[in-house]
Structure 1
Protein backbone atom coordinates (compact mmCIF):
# COMPACT_ATOMS: atom_id res chain seq x y z
CA UNK A 1 0.00 0.00 0.00
CA UNK A 2 1.45 3.35 -1.06
CA UNK A 3 0.91 6.75 0.57
CA UNK A 4 -2.11 7.68 -1.60
CA UNK A 5 -3.86 4.36 -0.88
CA UNK A 6 -3.28 4.79 2.85
CA UNK A 7 -4.78 8.29 2.76
CA UNK A 8 -7.80 7.02 0.85
CA UNK A 9 -8.34 4.19 3.34
CA UNK A 10 -8.22 6.58 6.31
CA UNK A 11 -10.66 8.94 4.60
CA UNK A 12 -13.09 6.08 3.91
CA UNK A 13 -12.87 4.94 7.53
CA UNK A 14 -13.72 8.41 8.84
CA UNK A 15 -16.56 8.81 6.32
CA UNK A 16 -18.19 5.40 6.79
CA UNK A 17 -18.03 5.19 10.61
CA UNK A 18 -20.31 7.54 12.57
CA UNK A 19 -18.94 9.80 15.28
CA UNK A 20 -19.17 8.13 18.72
CA UNK A 21 -21.93 9.52 20.96
CA UNK A 22 -20.89 12.13 23.55
CA UNK A 23 -20.38 10.99 27.13
CA UNK A 24 -23.33 11.70 29.41
CA UNK A 25 -22.39 14.60 31.65
CA UNK A 26 -23.83 13.11 34.84
CA UNK A 27 -21.71 9.95 34.46
CA UNK A 28 -18.54 11.95 33.85
CA UNK A 29 -19.23 14.35 36.73
CA UNK A 30 -20.03 11.58 39.21
CA UNK A 31 -16.97 9.51 38.28
CA UNK A 32 -14.69 12.54 38.56
CA UNK A 33 -16.08 13.54 41.96
CA UNK A 34 -15.72 10.04 43.40
CA UNK A 35 -12.11 9.79 42.25
CA UNK A 36 -11.34 13.29 43.53
CA UNK A 37 -12.96 12.54 46.89
CA UNK A 38 -10.81 9.51 47.63
CA UNK A 39 -7.57 11.17 46.51
CA UNK A 40 -8.35 14.34 48.46
CA UNK A 41 -9.18 12.53 51.69
CA UNK A 42 -6.07 10.36 51.61
CA UNK A 43 -3.64 13.00 50.46
CA UNK A 44 -5.02 15.88 52.57
CA UNK A 45 -5.13 19.54 51.76
CA UNK A 46 -1.66 19.55 50.21
CA UNK A 47 -2.97 17.75 47.10
CA UNK A 48 -6.31 19.52 46.81
CA UNK A 49 -5.20 21.81 43.99
CA UNK A 50 -4.02 18.89 41.86
CA UNK A 51 -7.27 17.00 42.46
CA UNK A 52 -9.31 20.03 41.49
CA UNK A 53 -7.35 20.29 38.25
CA UNK A 54 -8.34 16.72 37.37
CA UNK A 55 -11.99 17.42 38.19
CA UNK A 56 -12.10 20.64 36.18
CA UNK A 57 -10.73 18.80 33.18
CA UNK A 58 -13.90 16.71 33.23
CA UNK A 59 -16.27 19.56 34.13
CA UNK A 60 -15.62 22.48 31.74
CA UNK A 61 -16.43 26.00 32.83
CA UNK A 62 -15.89 25.53 36.54
CA UNK A 63 -12.99 27.97 36.87
CA UNK A 64 -13.89 31.21 38.56
CA UNK A 65 -12.72 34.64 37.36
CA UNK A 66 -9.78 35.81 39.42
CA UNK A 67 -9.99 32.74 41.67
CA UNK A 68 -8.53 29.95 39.53
CA UNK A 69 -10.35 26.92 40.85
CA UNK A 70 -13.28 28.58 42.60
CA UNK A 71 -12.88 26.41 45.70
CA UNK A 72 -13.38 28.36 48.89
CA UNK A 73 -10.67 27.67 51.44
CA UNK A 74 -11.75 28.77 54.87
CA UNK A 75 -9.33 29.25 57.76
CA UNK A 76 -9.66 32.13 60.09
CA UNK A 77 -11.54 33.64 58.22
CA UNK A 78 -11.49 30.88 55.57
CA UNK A 79 -10.80 27.05 55.79
CA UNK A 80 -9.44 23.79 54.46
CA UNK A 81 -10.68 22.26 51.24
CA UNK A 82 -12.94 19.29 51.67
CA UNK A 83 -13.76 16.71 49.07
CA UNK A 84 -16.38 17.05 46.40
CA UNK A 85 -19.67 15.22 47.09
CA UNK A 86 -19.75 11.52 46.21
CA UNK A 87 -23.25 11.83 44.77
CA UNK A 88 -24.61 14.01 42.02
CA UNK A 89 -27.03 16.59 43.49
CA UNK A 90 -30.66 16.27 42.41
CA UNK A 91 -30.54 19.66 40.74
CA UNK A 92 -27.91 18.66 38.15
CA UNK A 93 -29.21 18.71 34.59
CA UNK A 94 -28.96 15.09 33.44
CA UNK A 95 -30.58 15.38 30.01
CA UNK A 96 -28.06 17.01 27.66
CA UNK A 97 -29.03 17.01 23.99
CA UNK A 98 -27.20 17.71 20.77
CA UNK A 99 -23.80 17.69 22.44
CA UNK A 100 -24.77 20.65 24.64
CA UNK A 101 -22.40 21.23 27.57
CA UNK A 102 -24.04 20.99 30.98
CA UNK A 103 -22.82 22.07 34.42
CA UNK A 104 -24.06 21.32 37.95
CA UNK A 105 -26.23 24.01 39.48
CA UNK A 106 -25.18 24.47 43.11
CA UNK A 107 -27.16 26.18 45.89
CA UNK A 108 -26.85 29.98 46.00
CA UNK A 109 -24.36 29.86 48.89
CA UNK A 110 -21.99 27.75 46.77
CA UNK A 111 -20.15 29.79 44.15
CA UNK A 112 -19.64 27.20 41.44
CA UNK A 113 -18.63 24.14 43.46
CA UNK A 114 -19.69 21.91 46.34
CA UNK A 115 -18.23 24.09 49.10
CA UNK A 116 -20.30 26.84 50.72
CA UNK A 117 -18.60 30.23 50.84
CA UNK A 118 -21.48 32.20 52.36
CA UNK A 119 -24.88 31.71 53.95
CA UNK A 120 -26.12 29.56 56.85
CA UNK A 121 -24.14 26.42 56.04
CA UNK A 122 -20.89 28.35 55.79
CA UNK A 123 -21.72 29.80 59.22
CA UNK A 124 -22.30 26.26 60.54
CA UNK A 125 -18.71 25.44 59.60
CA UNK A 126 -17.47 28.49 61.50
CA UNK A 127 -19.52 27.54 64.57
CA UNK A 128 -18.10 24.02 64.44
CA UNK A 129 -14.56 25.41 64.46
CA UNK A 130 -15.40 27.63 67.45
CA UNK A 131 -16.76 24.60 69.33
CA UNK A 132 -13.68 22.54 68.46
CA UNK A 133 -11.27 25.22 69.66
CA UNK A 134 -13.21 25.42 72.93
CA UNK A 135 -12.89 21.63 73.34
CA UNK A 136 -9.08 21.52 73.08
CA UNK A 137 -7.95 19.70 76.26
CA UNK A 138 -5.42 21.06 78.72
CA UNK A 139 -2.41 21.34 78.67
CA UNK A 140 -2.64 21.72 74.89
CA UNK A 141 -3.43 25.03 73.22
CA UNK A 142 -5.14 25.74 69.92
CA UNK A 143 -2.62 27.22 67.52
CA UNK A 144 -3.49 30.19 65.31
CA UNK A 145 -1.91 31.63 62.21
CA UNK A 146 -0.29 29.56 59.46
CA UNK A 147 2.52 27.13 58.83
CA UNK A 148 5.69 28.42 57.15
CA UNK A 149 4.21 27.56 53.74
CA UNK A 150 0.91 29.31 54.39
CA UNK A 151 -1.34 26.43 55.52
CA UNK A 152 -3.77 27.68 58.22
CA UNK A 153 -3.60 26.04 61.64
CA UNK A 154 -7.38 26.47 61.93
CA UNK A 155 -9.79 25.62 59.15
CA UNK A 156 -13.45 24.91 58.50
CA UNK A 157 -15.82 24.23 55.63
CA UNK A 158 -19.24 22.92 54.66
CA UNK A 159 -20.00 20.88 51.55
CA UNK A 160 -23.17 19.60 49.92
CA UNK A 161 -23.19 15.78 49.74
CA UNK A 162 -26.13 14.89 47.51
CA UNK A 163 -29.15 15.59 49.71
CA UNK A 164 -27.38 16.52 52.96
CA UNK A 165 -24.62 18.81 54.22
CA UNK A 166 -21.31 17.83 55.79
CA UNK A 167 -19.40 20.27 58.03
CA UNK A 168 -15.76 19.92 58.99
CA UNK A 169 -13.35 21.81 61.25
CA UNK A 170 -9.72 21.21 62.13
CA UNK A 171 -7.32 22.86 64.56
CA UNK A 172 -3.62 22.30 65.22
CA UNK A 173 -2.94 21.79 68.93
CA UNK A 174 0.42 22.55 70.47
CA UNK A 175 2.31 21.59 73.59
CA UNK A 176 5.72 23.15 73.94
CA UNK A 177 7.43 22.88 70.56
CA UNK A 178 5.28 19.95 69.36
CA UNK A 179 2.14 20.14 67.20
CA UNK A 180 -0.73 17.70 66.69
CA UNK A 181 -4.30 18.06 65.47
CA UNK A 182 -7.95 17.66 66.33
CA UNK A 183 -10.54 17.36 63.57
CA UNK A 184 -14.32 17.00 63.69
CA UNK A 185 -16.65 16.14 60.83
CA UNK A 186 -20.44 16.31 61.14
CA UNK A 187 -22.88 14.84 58.60
CA UNK A 188 -26.38 16.27 58.93
CA UNK A 189 -29.51 14.05 59.02
CA UNK A 190 -30.36 12.46 55.68
CA UNK A 191 -27.01 10.71 55.28
CA UNK A 192 -26.92 6.96 54.64
CA UNK A 193 -24.14 6.14 57.11
CA UNK A 194 -24.44 2.96 59.24
CA UNK A 195 -26.15 2.89 62.63
CA UNK A 196 -23.80 0.37 64.23
CA UNK A 197 -20.99 2.29 66.02
CA UNK A 198 -18.11 0.20 64.67
CA UNK A 199 -19.53 -0.03 61.14
CA UNK A 200 -19.91 3.74 61.33
CA UNK A 201 -16.32 4.24 62.49
CA UNK A 202 -15.00 2.15 59.59
CA UNK A 203 -16.77 4.45 57.12
CA UNK A 204 -14.67 7.48 58.14
CA UNK A 205 -12.95 8.56 54.92
CA UNK A 206 -13.15 4.91 53.83
CA UNK A 207 -10.19 4.02 56.07
CA UNK A 208 -11.60 0.94 57.85
CA UNK A 209 -9.58 -0.50 60.74
CA UNK A 210 -10.08 -2.53 63.92
CA UNK A 211 -12.80 -0.96 66.04
CA UNK A 212 -13.36 -0.91 69.80
CA UNK A 213 -16.87 0.01 70.97
CA UNK A 214 -17.05 2.44 73.89
CA UNK A 215 -20.23 2.32 76.03
CA UNK A 216 -21.89 0.42 73.16
CA UNK A 217 -22.59 3.68 71.35
CA UNK A 218 -19.26 5.05 70.09
CA UNK A 219 -16.85 3.27 67.77
CA UNK A 220 -13.12 4.04 68.19
CA UNK A 221 -10.41 3.06 65.72
CA UNK A 222 -6.63 3.46 66.01
CA UNK A 223 -4.48 3.74 62.93
CA UNK A 224 -1.02 3.00 64.26
CA UNK A 225 0.18 5.01 67.23
CA UNK A 226 -0.32 8.45 65.72
CA UNK A 227 -3.98 8.60 64.60
CA UNK A 228 -7.33 7.65 66.15
CA UNK A 229 -10.95 8.61 65.62
CA UNK A 230 -14.35 8.11 67.24
CA UNK A 231 -17.76 7.85 65.54
CA UNK A 232 -21.19 8.54 66.99
CA UNK A 233 -24.67 8.69 65.47
CA UNK A 234 -27.28 10.81 67.23
CA UNK A 235 -30.90 9.68 67.40
CA UNK A 236 -31.90 12.21 64.72
CA UNK A 237 -29.35 10.77 62.27
CA UNK A 238 -26.60 13.36 62.76
CA UNK A 239 -23.20 11.65 62.53
CA UNK A 240 -20.12 12.99 64.31
CA UNK A 241 -16.52 11.92 63.74
CA UNK A 242 -13.71 13.23 65.93
CA UNK A 243 -10.14 12.48 64.89
CA UNK A 244 -6.90 13.13 66.75
CA UNK A 245 -3.38 12.83 65.40
CA UNK A 246 0.13 13.50 66.63
CA UNK A 247 0.83 15.79 63.67
CA UNK A 248 -1.36 17.92 61.36
CA UNK A 249 -2.82 15.79 58.56
CA UNK A 250 -2.58 18.63 56.04
CA UNK A 251 0.98 19.81 56.68
CA UNK A 252 4.23 17.93 56.16
CA UNK A 253 6.17 18.28 59.45
CA UNK A 254 9.48 17.86 57.65
CA UNK A 255 8.90 20.81 55.32
CA UNK A 256 7.41 23.04 58.01
CA UNK A 257 9.76 22.25 60.85
CA UNK A 258 6.85 20.98 62.97
CA UNK A 259 7.66 18.41 65.63
CA UNK A 260 4.87 15.85 66.23
CA UNK A 261 3.35 15.23 69.64
CA UNK A 262 4.98 12.39 71.54
CA UNK A 263 1.61 10.66 71.99
CA UNK A 264 -2.07 11.11 71.22
CA UNK A 265 -3.62 13.80 73.45
CA UNK A 266 -6.84 11.92 74.34
CA UNK A 267 -7.63 8.47 75.71
CA UNK A 268 -10.28 6.38 73.94
CA UNK A 269 -12.83 7.30 76.62
CA UNK A 270 -12.04 11.02 76.27
CA UNK A 271 -12.23 10.81 72.49
CA UNK A 272 -15.60 9.05 72.71
CA UNK A 273 -16.87 11.68 75.14
CA UNK A 274 -15.90 14.39 72.70
CA UNK A 275 -17.77 12.63 69.87
CA UNK A 276 -21.06 12.74 71.79
CA UNK A 277 -20.60 16.37 72.85
CA UNK A 278 -23.75 18.30 71.98
CA UNK A 279 -21.75 21.33 70.87
CA UNK A 280 -20.72 19.48 67.70
CA UNK A 281 -24.30 18.89 66.48
Structure 2
Protein backbone atom coordinates (compact mmCIF):
# COMPACT_ATOMS: atom_id res chain seq x y z
CA UNK A 1 0.00 0.00 0.00
CA UNK A 2 2.86 2.40 0.77
CA UNK A 3 4.12 1.94 -2.77
CA UNK A 4 0.76 2.66 -4.35
CA UNK A 5 0.34 6.16 -5.76
CA UNK A 6 -2.61 8.08 -4.37
CA UNK A 7 -5.19 8.89 -7.07
CA UNK A 8 -5.68 12.60 -7.90
CA UNK A 9 -8.38 14.43 -5.99
CA UNK A 10 -11.71 15.01 -7.72
CA UNK A 11 -13.68 18.22 -7.47
CA UNK A 12 -16.58 17.87 -5.05
CA UNK A 13 -18.34 20.81 -6.68
CA UNK A 14 -18.12 19.16 -10.12
CA UNK A 15 -19.65 15.95 -8.82
CA UNK A 16 -22.42 17.76 -7.01
CA UNK A 17 -23.12 19.95 -10.00
CA UNK A 18 -23.53 16.91 -12.26
CA UNK A 19 -25.88 15.18 -9.82
CA UNK A 20 -27.95 18.31 -9.14
CA UNK A 21 -28.38 18.85 -12.86
CA UNK A 22 -29.68 15.30 -13.29
CA UNK A 23 -32.10 15.71 -10.40
CA UNK A 24 -33.15 19.15 -11.61
CA UNK A 25 -34.11 17.72 -14.97
CA UNK A 26 -35.88 14.76 -13.35
CA UNK A 27 -38.43 17.08 -11.76
CA UNK A 28 -39.41 18.49 -15.16
CA UNK A 29 -40.33 15.19 -16.73
CA UNK A 30 -42.24 12.03 -16.21
CA UNK A 31 -40.76 8.52 -15.84
CA UNK A 32 -38.49 7.40 -12.97
CA UNK A 33 -34.91 6.31 -13.34
CA UNK A 34 -33.52 4.24 -10.50
CA UNK A 35 -29.84 4.66 -11.42
CA UNK A 36 -29.83 8.42 -11.02
CA UNK A 37 -31.96 8.23 -7.89
CA UNK A 38 -29.39 5.91 -6.38
CA UNK A 39 -26.60 8.25 -7.41
CA UNK A 40 -28.28 11.19 -5.75
CA UNK A 41 -28.76 9.17 -2.58
CA UNK A 42 -25.05 8.29 -2.50
CA UNK A 43 -23.77 11.83 -2.78
CA UNK A 44 -26.50 13.47 -0.71
CA UNK A 45 -27.92 16.10 -3.04
CA UNK A 46 -30.22 18.71 -1.46
CA UNK A 47 -33.73 19.57 -2.58
CA UNK A 48 -33.99 21.49 -5.86
CA UNK A 49 -36.10 24.52 -6.70
CA UNK A 50 -39.25 23.28 -8.49
CA UNK A 51 -41.96 21.40 -6.64
CA UNK A 52 -42.93 17.98 -7.96
CA UNK A 53 -42.18 14.31 -7.64
CA UNK A 54 -41.31 11.41 -9.83
CA UNK A 55 -39.87 12.20 -13.21
CA UNK A 56 -37.82 10.85 -16.06
CA UNK A 57 -34.11 11.42 -15.56
CA UNK A 58 -31.98 12.51 -18.55
CA UNK A 59 -28.69 10.82 -19.18
CA UNK A 60 -25.86 12.25 -17.10
CA UNK A 61 -22.15 11.50 -16.99
CA UNK A 62 -21.30 8.66 -14.63
CA UNK A 63 -19.96 9.92 -11.32
CA UNK A 64 -17.83 7.74 -9.07
CA UNK A 65 -17.39 7.92 -5.29
CA UNK A 66 -16.66 11.43 -4.06
CA UNK A 67 -13.37 11.70 -2.14
CA UNK A 68 -12.84 14.01 0.83
CA UNK A 69 -12.25 17.66 -0.12
CA UNK A 70 -8.67 18.45 -0.99
CA UNK A 71 -6.72 21.59 -0.30
CA UNK A 72 -7.40 22.68 -3.90
CA UNK A 73 -11.19 22.53 -3.51
CA UNK A 74 -12.87 25.87 -2.88
CA UNK A 75 -16.42 26.65 -1.90
CA UNK A 76 -18.33 28.11 -4.88
CA UNK A 77 -19.77 31.60 -4.68
CA UNK A 78 -23.48 31.23 -5.35
CA UNK A 79 -25.40 34.15 -6.91
CA UNK A 80 -27.95 36.29 -5.10
CA UNK A 81 -31.41 34.74 -5.07
CA UNK A 82 -34.78 36.40 -5.77
CA UNK A 83 -35.10 37.27 -2.09
CA UNK A 84 -31.85 39.28 -2.16
CA UNK A 85 -29.96 36.64 -0.15
CA UNK A 86 -27.13 34.39 -1.41
CA UNK A 87 -28.43 31.06 -2.67
CA UNK A 88 -27.49 27.86 -0.85
CA UNK A 89 -26.99 25.87 -4.07
CA UNK A 90 -27.42 26.15 -7.84
CA UNK A 91 -31.21 26.15 -7.97
CA UNK A 92 -33.59 29.09 -7.58
CA UNK A 93 -37.29 28.65 -6.66
CA UNK A 94 -38.59 31.91 -8.11
CA UNK A 95 -37.82 34.90 -10.27
CA UNK A 96 -39.16 36.74 -13.30
CA UNK A 97 -37.60 34.45 -15.91
CA UNK A 98 -38.52 31.36 -13.93
CA UNK A 99 -42.22 32.27 -13.78
CA UNK A 100 -42.47 33.74 -17.27
CA UNK A 101 -41.17 30.73 -19.20
CA UNK A 102 -43.87 28.35 -17.96
CA UNK A 103 -46.65 30.84 -18.73
CA UNK A 104 -45.31 31.34 -22.25
CA UNK A 105 -45.03 27.60 -22.85
CA UNK A 106 -48.67 27.05 -21.86
CA UNK A 107 -49.67 29.96 -24.11
CA UNK A 108 -48.33 28.25 -27.28
CA UNK A 109 -50.13 24.92 -26.73
CA UNK A 110 -52.30 24.25 -29.81
CA UNK A 111 -56.02 24.91 -29.48
CA UNK A 112 -56.81 21.22 -30.00
CA UNK A 113 -54.92 20.38 -26.81
CA UNK A 114 -55.30 21.35 -23.17
CA UNK A 115 -52.91 21.58 -20.22
CA UNK A 116 -54.59 19.99 -17.17
CA UNK A 117 -54.59 22.18 -14.05
CA UNK A 118 -52.72 21.01 -10.97
CA UNK A 119 -54.57 20.71 -7.65
CA UNK A 120 -53.67 23.21 -4.95
CA UNK A 121 -52.33 20.38 -2.76
CA UNK A 122 -51.33 17.48 -5.00
CA UNK A 123 -50.97 14.06 -3.33
CA UNK A 124 -47.45 13.00 -2.51
CA UNK A 125 -45.87 11.18 -5.42
CA UNK A 126 -48.22 12.59 -8.05
CA UNK A 127 -46.38 14.21 -10.97
CA UNK A 128 -47.43 17.76 -11.78
CA UNK A 129 -48.89 18.84 -15.13
CA UNK A 130 -46.93 22.10 -15.08
CA UNK A 131 -43.38 22.23 -13.76
CA UNK A 132 -40.49 24.66 -13.98
CA UNK A 133 -37.08 25.29 -12.49
CA UNK A 134 -34.04 27.53 -12.72
CA UNK A 135 -30.37 26.70 -12.25
CA UNK A 136 -27.20 28.73 -12.01
CA UNK A 137 -24.73 27.02 -14.33
CA UNK A 138 -21.52 29.00 -14.23
CA UNK A 139 -19.86 32.40 -14.32
CA UNK A 140 -18.16 32.99 -17.68
CA UNK A 141 -16.01 36.10 -18.10
CA UNK A 142 -17.80 37.70 -15.17
CA UNK A 143 -21.29 36.92 -16.53
CA UNK A 144 -23.71 34.60 -14.69
CA UNK A 145 -24.98 31.83 -16.96
CA UNK A 146 -28.37 30.32 -16.06
CA UNK A 147 -30.62 27.63 -17.52
CA UNK A 148 -34.40 27.58 -17.23
CA UNK A 149 -36.65 24.58 -17.88
CA UNK A 150 -40.45 24.45 -18.08
CA UNK A 151 -42.61 21.48 -19.04
CA UNK A 152 -46.33 20.98 -19.54
CA UNK A 153 -48.55 17.94 -19.96
CA UNK A 154 -50.68 18.28 -23.10
CA UNK A 155 -53.94 16.36 -23.39
CA UNK A 156 -56.21 15.57 -26.30
CA UNK A 157 -59.21 13.59 -25.14
CA UNK A 158 -57.83 10.81 -22.95
CA UNK A 159 -54.41 10.88 -24.60
CA UNK A 160 -51.44 12.75 -23.13
CA UNK A 161 -48.02 13.93 -24.25
CA UNK A 162 -45.42 16.46 -23.17
CA UNK A 163 -43.98 19.81 -24.27
CA UNK A 164 -40.81 21.25 -22.75
CA UNK A 165 -38.74 24.40 -23.25
CA UNK A 166 -35.21 24.88 -21.96
CA UNK A 167 -33.36 28.20 -22.21
CA UNK A 168 -29.65 28.82 -21.56
CA UNK A 169 -28.77 32.45 -20.99
CA UNK A 170 -26.16 34.36 -22.98
CA UNK A 171 -22.57 33.45 -22.16
CA UNK A 172 -23.12 29.68 -22.33
CA UNK A 173 -20.54 27.48 -24.05
CA UNK A 174 -22.97 25.49 -26.22
CA UNK A 175 -22.15 24.95 -29.93
CA UNK A 176 -23.12 27.47 -32.57
CA UNK A 177 -23.89 25.23 -35.57
CA UNK A 178 -27.57 24.13 -35.79
CA UNK A 179 -27.30 20.32 -35.60
CA UNK A 180 -24.36 20.09 -33.17
CA UNK A 181 -26.33 22.48 -30.97
CA UNK A 182 -29.51 20.39 -31.23
CA UNK A 183 -27.63 17.24 -30.26
CA UNK A 184 -26.43 18.92 -27.07
CA UNK A 185 -29.95 18.82 -25.65
CA UNK A 186 -29.56 16.36 -22.77
CA UNK A 187 -26.85 14.72 -24.93
CA UNK A 188 -29.55 12.94 -26.94
CA UNK A 189 -28.64 11.62 -30.38
CA UNK A 190 -30.96 11.57 -33.36
CA UNK A 191 -31.56 12.35 -37.01
CA UNK A 192 -31.11 16.10 -37.39
CA UNK A 193 -32.32 18.37 -40.18
CA UNK A 194 -31.67 22.07 -40.72
CA UNK A 195 -34.95 23.96 -41.11
CA UNK A 196 -34.83 27.51 -42.46
CA UNK A 197 -37.11 30.09 -40.84
CA UNK A 198 -36.79 33.22 -42.96
CA UNK A 199 -33.03 33.51 -43.19
CA UNK A 200 -32.40 31.70 -39.90
CA UNK A 201 -31.14 28.10 -39.78
CA UNK A 202 -32.61 25.93 -37.01
CA UNK A 203 -31.41 22.48 -36.02
CA UNK A 204 -34.34 20.06 -35.58
CA UNK A 205 -33.92 16.46 -34.45
CA UNK A 206 -36.84 14.80 -36.23
CA UNK A 207 -36.22 11.26 -34.97
CA UNK A 208 -34.59 10.39 -31.66
CA UNK A 209 -32.10 7.52 -31.70
CA UNK A 210 -32.81 4.77 -29.17
CA UNK A 211 -34.26 7.23 -26.67
CA UNK A 212 -37.97 7.67 -26.00
CA UNK A 213 -37.83 10.67 -23.68
CA UNK A 214 -38.71 13.00 -26.54
CA UNK A 215 -39.70 12.47 -30.16
CA UNK A 216 -38.52 15.77 -31.63
CA UNK A 217 -36.74 18.93 -30.54
CA UNK A 218 -35.50 22.15 -32.12
CA UNK A 219 -32.52 24.30 -31.10
CA UNK A 220 -31.73 27.93 -31.84
CA UNK A 221 -28.94 30.25 -30.74
CA UNK A 222 -29.96 33.93 -30.76
CA UNK A 223 -27.41 36.49 -31.95
CA UNK A 224 -26.77 37.49 -28.31
CA UNK A 225 -25.88 33.87 -27.43
CA UNK A 226 -29.11 32.84 -25.70
CA UNK A 227 -29.97 29.23 -26.61
CA UNK A 228 -33.53 27.88 -26.80
CA UNK A 229 -34.56 24.22 -27.01
CA UNK A 230 -38.23 23.38 -27.72
CA UNK A 231 -39.18 19.70 -27.41
CA UNK A 232 -42.24 17.51 -27.84
CA UNK A 233 -43.26 13.94 -27.14
CA UNK A 234 -46.35 11.88 -27.87
CA UNK A 235 -45.75 9.96 -24.67
CA UNK A 236 -46.14 11.15 -21.10
CA UNK A 237 -45.45 8.02 -19.06
CA UNK A 238 -45.94 4.28 -19.03
CA UNK A 239 -49.52 3.12 -18.70
CA UNK A 240 -51.08 6.25 -20.22
CA UNK A 241 -52.42 6.43 -23.79
CA UNK A 242 -50.08 8.54 -25.90
CA UNK A 243 -51.08 11.24 -28.37
CA UNK A 244 -52.00 9.96 -31.81
CA UNK A 245 -49.80 12.68 -33.36
CA UNK A 246 -47.25 15.22 -32.18
CA UNK A 247 -48.71 18.65 -31.33
CA UNK A 248 -46.43 20.49 -33.79
CA UNK A 249 -44.86 19.82 -37.16
CA UNK A 250 -41.06 19.97 -37.32
CA UNK A 251 -41.34 23.31 -39.13
CA UNK A 252 -43.58 24.77 -36.42
CA UNK A 253 -41.22 23.49 -33.74
CA UNK A 254 -38.39 25.37 -35.46
CA UNK A 255 -40.46 28.57 -35.55
CA UNK A 256 -41.19 28.25 -31.83
CA UNK A 257 -37.48 27.96 -31.08
CA UNK A 258 -37.04 31.45 -32.54
CA UNK A 259 -40.13 32.89 -30.81
CA UNK A 260 -39.22 36.06 -28.93
CA UNK A 261 -41.26 35.03 -25.88
CA UNK A 262 -38.70 32.29 -25.14
CA UNK A 263 -35.79 34.70 -25.58
CA UNK A 264 -35.12 35.28 -21.89
CA UNK A 265 -32.79 38.24 -21.29
In the superposition, the TM-score normalised over structure 2's length comes to 0.73
Deviation at 1:131, TM superposition (A): 0.4
Deviation string for 1:147-179 (max 9, x for gaps)? 884111100111111221001100011111111
Given candidates 46, 50, 55, the residue that maps to 1:73 is 50
Q: How well do the aligned residues superpose, as a CA RMSD in angstroms?
A: 3.9
1:235-254 superposed matches below 5 A: 235-248=223-236, 252-254=237-239
Identify the residue that residue 151 of structure 1 maps to in structure 2. Answer: 127
Residue in 1 aligned with 2:111? 138
The structure-2 alpha-carbon separation of the partners of 1:45 and 1:24, relative to structure 1 and needing over 3 Å to count, comes to farther
Report 1:78-117 matches (<5 A).
Answer: 96-97=70-71, 103-109=75-81, 111-117=87-93
Alpha-carbon distance between aligned partners in 2 of 1:114 and 1:50, rounded to the nearest angstrom: 22
Distance (Å, rounded) in 2 between the aligned partners of 1:48 and 1:40:
13
* Count of residue pairs the alignment pairs up: 237
In 2, distance between residues paired with 1:204 and 1:217?
17
Question: Structure 1 residue aligned with 2:186, among 205, 213, 218?
Answer: 205
> Greater strand share, 1 or 2?
2
TM-score normalised over the length of structure 1: 0.69
Name the counterpart of 1:29: 13
Q: Deviations over 1:16-74 (max 9, x none)?
A: x4998696462x43245436656876895654797366346446xx6xxxxxx322224
Cα offset, 1:234, TM superposition: 0.6
Secondary structure of the residue aligned to 1:157 is strand
User: Which piece of structure 1 moves more, 192-201 or 144-153?
Assistant: 144-153
Aligned partners of 2:176 and 2:221 also within 8 Å: yes
SS at match of 1:113: coil
Contact 2:32 2:54 in 1 (8 A): no
Decide which structure has the larger Cα Rg and report it. 1
Tell me by how many angstroms 1:181 deviates: 1.0
Q: Per-residue deviation at 1:273?
A: 1.0
Please state if 1:231 is matched with 2:219. Answer: yes
CA distance in 1, matches of 2:97, 2:40: 26
> 1:193 and 2:174 equivalent?
yes
